[in-house]
Structure 1
Amino acid sequence: MMRHCSSPWNWLLLCLSLLLPACSSYAPPRTLVGMSRDELVALMGPPDMERRVDAGTRLEFPRGPYGQHTWFVYFDAAGRAIRAEQVLTEQNFNRILPGMAQDEVRQLLGRPSEVQGLARARGVVWSYRYENPFCDWFQVELSLQQQVRSAGYGKPPECEQRDGIFPF
């Protein structure tokens, strides 16, 4: 006699197995070298931004839960993919310096996860979530002249301590 097992563990395994294929287009494929722009966009969806760089172009793909990854995919002049990199890294954050133009920040890090205005119209703060063990984000304060005033690490709202208990 065959017994039907409907334990909660079986349902959890079923749900996880259905979600795994959805992660396949999260990052660029390992075999992207030589792919056309159209082939890559068919796999990853439309990019957030397309920029001219050197002798080719770059597509920018913000990704992940809370936008913790941003992939830049580079194409040569013939329109073939040559490499990809995940740019939300501490190495890139350390390149953000006071006086840098807002567009330079966008070129290094892509679109921020959140944008918040400062009181008395003093500028804005761009926040970048990124993968790290400390639940930090990187923040860039921009002046009204669209230049970096300051930059550093902080805690996003979902990681703030509330009533002595961390939500995670």
Structure 2
Amino acid sequence: MEFAGRLLTSGLLALLCACSALIPASVHTGDSEEQVIAKRGQPTHRYQDGRDHILEYAQGPWGQATYMVHIGPDSRVISFEQVLTSQKFASIKIGQATKDDVLRTVGAPSETSYLSLSELEVWSYPYKESGVWNSLMHIHFDRSGIVRKMMNGPDPRFDPDEHFPFGMFRVR
């Protein structure tokens, strides 16, 4: 019985450790850049923003969250936020924002494509629209790197009718 108790305790401890690895430690205003990296690991990208810089923590191509840590000239955290939101996308100005502006606002895209007929480069971002719907935001850039349009819609990766075998046998 004692062995079973130890085994159960060990299993629970391993589970707790695994869960803590999936949920990184919180970042707080005033933390040093070194503390952020110790808590979150190396960022997926770094961007310069005037005298400040930004650390990006993207959650991968299927992830619907990207965290941006704004670091001031004193190497301390100014802000920490999840940026793949309708509000952040709405702050991108069509006809004015550049690729660099978009990178500093919502980070790197999970996917890029090119529309040859309209000569637009498209950056795609999966996100939870209103915290509920699995959506994709597509940001279209012209040849000079200026945002020309933005379109969002359902993320087809989460549509069970679009995946084999169900998509083949759809009743219409």
TM more than 0.5: yes
- Contact persistence 1:127–1:140 (CA under 8 A): yes
Residue 88 of structure 1 aligns with an amino acid whose one-letter code is L
Which residues of 2 match residues 62-73 of structure 1 at below 5 A? 62-63=58-59, 66-73=62-69
Any idea what the Cα deviations from partners look like across 1:91-139, whole Å, max 9, x if unmatched? 1111233313222211211111111222358232111111232211111
Cα–Cα, structure 1 residues 114 and 54, in superposed 2: closer, same or farther, change >3 Å?
same
- Deviation, 1:159, is 2.7
Residue 130 of structure 1 aligns with an amino acid whose one-letter code is Y
* Match status 1:123 vs 2:120: yes
Residue 70 of structure 1 aligns with an amino acid whose one-letter code is T
**Residue matched to 1:138:** 137
TM-score scaled to structure 1, two decimals? Answer: 0.75
Which residues of 2 match residues 1-168 of structure 1 at below 5 A? 17=16, 19-25=18-24, 29-30=26-27, 32-63=28-59, 66-99=62-95, 100-120=97-117, 122-131=119-128, 132-160=131-159, 161-162=161-162, 163=167, 164=170
Any idea what the Cα deviations from partners look like across 1:40-74, whole Å, max 9, x if unmatched? 11221211232333543221111267131111112
Question: Which runs of at least 4 in structure 1 moved beyond 4 Å after TM superposition?
Answer: 13-18
Q: Which runs of 5+ in 1 are unaligned?
A: 5-12
- Contact persistence 2:32–2:75 (CA under 8 A): yes
Residue 86 of structure 2 aligns with an amino acid whose one-letter code is E
- Deviation, 1:15, is 8.2
Cα–Cα, structure 1 residues 82 and 97, in superposed 2: closer, same or farther, change >3 Å?
closer
Question: SS in structure 2 opposite 1:135?
Answer: strand
Structure 1 vs Structure 2 CA RMSD:
3.1
What is the percent sequence identity of the aligned residues? 29
Distance 2:53 2:147 in 1: 26
Residue 23 of structure 1 aligns with an amino acid whose one-letter code is L
- Number of aligned residue pairs: 156
Residue 140 of structure 1 aligns with an amino acid whose one-letter code is I
Q: Which runs of 5+ in 2 are unaligned?
A: 5-11
Distance 1:106 1:40 in 2: 20
Question: SS in structure 2 opposite 1:158?
Answer: helix
Distance 2:34 2:148 in 1: 39
